[in-house]
Amino acid sequence: MFVLGAGVSYGVVPLLRDIGAWFVQQLPNDEQHKKAHSLAEKLATGKPNRGEVAELFSLLQSEKEKSRGIWRRFSEAFLLGSDPKIKMGEQGQTPFSGLLKANPSEGHRSLAGLAANHAAWVLSLNFDGLTVKALIKKGGDAAGVALHSAEDVRRYFSAPDALKSVPAVIKVRGDVFYARCDNSLCPAAAAEQALDRLMRDPPQSDLRCPSCHAGQLLLQFLFPGFRSKEEAAYPILWEARGFLGPRVSAIIIVGLSGRWDRYLLEFLFDWARERELPVLDVKPDGEDAKVIESFWQTYFKGRVNFHFINATAEEWLPEFCRAFDWKNP
Amino acid sequence: MNGALSYVAERDVVEAEYCPEGERPSLETCFAELVPEAARSILENVSQWGLKELWLGVAPGNHSRWNHTKGALTIALRWYHHLNRHLTSQGLAKDCLRQLGLKEGAEDALRKLVLLAVALHDIGHLPFAHLLGEVLESINWVPEGKGLSGLEQEVLEARFKEHFQGLWKKLGSELSCNPDSVQAAVTDLISGRHGLPWAQAIVNSPIDADKLDYVQRDSEFLRSHTSIAGGRLPPTGKGQKAEWLTEFFAEQQVNHAGMLCLSGRSAVLAADLMRDRIYLYDRFYLSPEIRAIERMAFELIQQFLIRAVMSERFSQTATAGTSSDHSLESTSTLGATMEAEDAVGDIRKLKCRLAAHILMRLAPRRRTSLMEFTVLEDMYRMLKNEESVDAGVRELWQQCFDQLRQLKERGVSISELAKRALVREPLVLKRRQYDLALEILRPLQHVYARQALIDLVKLPRALGGGGRWRGRTARKVDEVDWNILVPEGPISRWGGGSKACRPLTDEAVRELERPYARVLVVAPFGSDVHSEYIWDRVRAALLEGGVELVRRARRA
Return the domain boundaries, chain A.
2-8+104-174+226-323
Angle, helices B179-191 vs B165-175, to 10°: value is: 110
Q: Does the beta-carbon distance from B256 to A238 stay under 8 Å?
A: no
A231 touches chain B (CB under 8 A): no
Q: Position B84: which residue type?
A: N
* Alpha-carbon span A84 to B97, nearest angstrom: 51
One domain, residues B116 and B177: yes
- For residue B484, give how far its alpha carbon lies from the nearest alpha carbon of chain A (Å): 9
List all residues 6 or more positions away from B470 whose beta carbon is below 8 Å from its beta carbon. A274, B476, B477, B478
Look at strands A217-221 and A176-181 and give their pairing: antiparallel
CA distance A244 to chain B (A): 8
Cβ contacts of A302 on chain B, cutoff 8 Å: none
Per-residue pLDDT of chain B (556 residues; tens, 9 = 90+): 445 678 888 788 888 888 887 888 888 888 878 888 999 988 888 888 888 888 888 877 778 889 999 999 999 999 999 998 888 877 777 776 666 666 666 778 888 899 999 999 999 988 888 899 999 999 988 887 766 777 888 889 889 998 899 999 988 888 778 899 899 999 999 999 888 999 999 999 999 999 999 998 888 888 887 776 655 666 666 678 889 999 999 999 999 899 999 999 999 999 999 999 999 999 999 999 999 999 999 999 999 999 999 888 887 766 555 554 555 555 666 667 766 665 556 788 888 888 988 888 887 665 666 778 888 998 999 898 888 889 999 999 999 999 999 998 888 999 999 999 999 999 999 999 999 999 999 999 999 999 999 999 999 999 987 667 877 776 677 888 899 999 998 999 999 889 999 999 999 999 999 999 999 999 999 999 999 999 999 999 999 999 999 976 554 4
Q: Report whether B126 contacts B132 (CB < 8 A).
A: yes
Look at residues B22, B38, B24, B9 and name the one whose alpha carbon lies nearest to residue B74: B24
Contact A298, B73 (CB under 8 A): no
Q: What is the pLDDT confidence band of residue A329, given thresholds at 50, 70 and 90?
A: very low
Per-residue confidence band for A201, with pLDDT thresholds at 50, 70 and 90: low
DSSP characters for A117-150? TTS--EEE--SS-HHHHHHHHHH-TTS-EEE-SH
- The confidence score (pLDDT) of residue B1 equals 41
> On the CB side of B486, how many CA atoms lie within 13 Å of its CA?
26
**How much helix, strand and coil, in percent to the nearest 5, is found in chain A?**
45, 15, 40
Q: What is the CATH number of the domain that holds B454?
A: 3.30.70.270
How many CA atoms lie within 13 Å of A272's alpha carbon, on the beta-carbon side?
Answer: 27
Q: Touching check for A234 and chain B: CB below 8 Å?
A: yes
Strand partners, A279: A251, A306
The C-alpha atoms of residue B176 and residue B263 are separated, in whole angstroms, by 37
**CB B444 within 8 Å of CB B531:** no
Which chain B residue's Cα is nearest to A299?
Answer: B473
CB B277 within 8 A of CB B215: yes
pLDDT number for residue B152: 87
Asked if A117 lies within 8 A of B98 by C-beta distance, the reply is yes
**E strand residue ranges, B229-385:** 252-254, 260-262
Asked if B73 and B80 count as a contact pair (C-beta separation under 8 A), the reply is: no
Q: What share of chain B is helix, strand, coil (3-state, %, to 5)?
A: 55, 10, 35
Domains identified in chain B, total number: 3
Whose CA is closest to B464, among B269, B210, B137?
B210
B28 in a structural domain: yes
Same domain, B429 and B488: no
Cis ω before A14 (30° cut-off from 0): no
How confident is the model over A258-263, as a mean pLDDT?
82
Helix axes B65-90, B37-44, angle to 10 degrees: 130
List chain B residues with CB under 8 Å of A238. 471, 475, 477
Architecture of domain A2-8+104-174+226-323: 3-Layer(aba) Sandwich (3.40)
> Which chain A residue shows the shortest CA-CA distance from B86?
A163
Q: Quick check: is B385 in a domain?
A: no
Closest residue on chain A to B251 (Cα):
A160
**Distances from the Cα of B186 to the Cα of A2, B130, B396, angstroms:** 26, 22, 44
Chain-centre distance of CA B216, in angstroms?
A: 15
Predicted ipTM? 0.86
Peptide bond into A84 cis (omega under 30): yes
Mark yes or no for CB contact B481/A156 under 8 Å. Answer: no
Asked if residue A173 has pLDDT above 50, the reply is yes
Residue type, A161: D
Check B479 against A234: CB less than 8 A apart: no
- Residues B477 and B87: their CA atoms lie apart, in Å, by 32
pLDDT at A174: 52
Sign of CA dihedral B536, B542, B548, B552: negative
Closest residue in chain B to residue A328, using alpha carbons only:
B103
φ, ψ for residue B81 (rounded to 5)?
A: -60, -40
Same domain? B76 vs B15? yes
Could you tell me if A17 and A23 are in contact, meaning their C-beta atoms sit under 8 angstroms apart?
no
Burial A90-115 (b: 16+ CB within 10 A, else e): eeeeeebebbbebebbebbbbbbbbb
- Looking only at the bridges linking them, the beta strands covering B453-458 and A279-283 are unpaired
Query: For the segment A2-35, what is each residue's pLDDT rounded down to a tens digit?
Result: 999 988 988 888 888 888 899 998 888 888 888 8
Tell me, yes or no, if B103 comes closer than 8 A to chain A by beta carbon: yes
| B278 part of a folded domain | no
Domain that holds residue B491: 468-503
What three-state secondary structure class fits B517? strand
Residue A91 sits at the chain B interface (C-beta within 8 Å): no
Q: Is B488 on the interface with A (CB under 8 A)?
A: no
**B205 interfacial to chain A (CB closer than 8 Å):** no
Kindly report the number of other CB atoms within 10 A of residue B32's CB atom.
11
Residue B146 forms part of a structural domain: yes
Chain B residues within an 8 Å CB radius of A243: 257, 482, 503
Chain B contact set for A249 (CB, 8 A):
195
Domain boundary among B196, B225, B250: B250
Is B78 within a domain?
A: yes
CB atoms within 10 A of CB A312: 17
**Angle (nearest 5°) at CA B435 between B431 and B440:** 115
C-alpha distances out from residue B89 to B85, B86, B253, Å: 6, 5, 11
Those residues whose C-beta lies under 8 Å from the C-beta of residue B348, and which sit 6 or more positions away, are B140, B141, B142, B143, B150
Does residue B440 sit in the same domain as residue B475?
Answer: no
Residue after which a domain boundary falls, among B250, B285, B300: B250
Element (H, E) at B33: none
On whether both B446 and B473 belong to a single domain, the answer is no
A243, A271, A328, best to mutate vs chain B, most B CBs in 10 Å: A243
> Is B33 inside a domain boundary?
yes
Q: How far apart are CA B445 and CA B453, in angstroms?
A: 7
Average pLDDT value for chain A: 83
Q: Which of B482, B483, B485, B505 to mutate to test the interface with A (most CBs of A within 10 A)?
A: B482
- Minimum-distance CB partner of A160 among B200, B255, B473: B255
Q: Residue A238 is nearest to which of B99, B192, B475, comparing CB atoms?
A: B475
Q: What are the start-end ranges of the H helices in chain A?
A: 16-26, 34-45, 50-60, 65-80, 106-116, 130-139, 150-158, 227-244, 262-275, 291-299, 313-323
Whether B36 maps to a domain, the answer reads: yes
Is residue B490 in a domain? Answer: yes
- For A13, the 3-state DSSP assignment is strand
Whether the CB of A266 is below 8 Å from some CB of chain B: the reply is yes
| Domain end point (choices B216, B250, B284) | B250
> Looking at chain A, which residue has its C-alpha nearest residue B255?
A160
Contact B503 A267 (CB under 8 A): no
Give yes or no: residues B430 and B478 share one domain: no
Query: Same structural domain for residues B478 and B498?
Result: yes
DSSP-assigned beta bridge partners for residue A95: A87
C-beta atoms of B98 and A161 within 8 A: no
Give the separation between CA B512 and CA B518, rounded to whole angstroms.
18
Beta carbon pairs, A and B, within 8 Å: 98
Of A118, A158, A241, the CB nearest to B485: A158
